[in-house]
Chain A
Amino acid sequence: MRDSDQGDWREALYEELVAARVSQVAYVPDAGHSHVITRCHEDPAITPIVLTTEEEGIGVLAGADLAGARGVLLMQSSGVGNCLNTFSLVRNCGFPIVTIVTMRGEWGEFNPWQVPMGQATPATLEAGGLVVQRVDDPGDVRAVVKHALHMAFEGGTAMAVLLSQRLIGAKTF
Chain B
Amino acid sequence: METQQNNGFERRELVAQILRDRSDDLLVVTGLGSPTYDVAAAGDDPRNFYLWGAMGSAATIGLGLALARPQARVLVITGDGEMLMALGALATIGVARPSNLAIAVLDNRAYGETGGQASHTAHGVDLVAMARAAGFKETAHCDATDGFDAPRRLLREAPGPVLAACAIRSGENPRVMPARDGHHLRARFREAIGVA
Contact = CB atoms under 8 A, between A and B. Distances in A.
Contacts of B84: none
B19 interface: no
B54 A24 contact: no
A25 to B, nearest CB: 11
B190 interface: yes
B1 interface: no
A59 B182 contact: no
Given A63-B66, A93-B183, A94-B183, A56 B195 contact: no
Contacts, number: 121
Interface residues of B, number: 38
A96 to B, nearest CB: 10
| Band of interface residues on A | 20 to 34
Contacts of A24: 64, 67-68
A68 B64 CA distance: 11
Contact of A63 (B56, B68, B95): B68
Nearest to B88: A52
Given A56-B92, A95-B186, A63 B53 contact: no
A165 B1 CA distance: 49
Contacts of A68: 68, 190, 193, 195-196
B88 A60 contact: no
Given A64-B68, A68-B195, A85-B55, A93 B60 contact: no
A56 B68 contact: no
A53 B88 contact: yes
A74 to B, nearest CB: 14
B62 interface: yes
B92 A89 contact: no
Given A49-B67, A68-B193, 11 more contacts: A47-B96, A53-B88, A56-B60, A58-B54, A59-B59, A60-B60, A66-B61, A66-B193, A67-B193, A92-B182, A92-B183
Closest 8 CB pairs of A and B: A63-B64, A68-B195, A59-B60, A52-B88, A93-B182, A69-B68, A92-B182, A67-B68
22 contacts: A24-B68, A49-B63, A49-B64, A50-B95, A52-B88, A56-B60, A59-B57, A59-B61, A63-B60, A64-B65, A65-B190, A66-B49, A67-B65, A67-B68, A68-B195, A69-B69, A85-B53, A85-B56, A89-B54, A92-B182, A92-B183, A94-B183
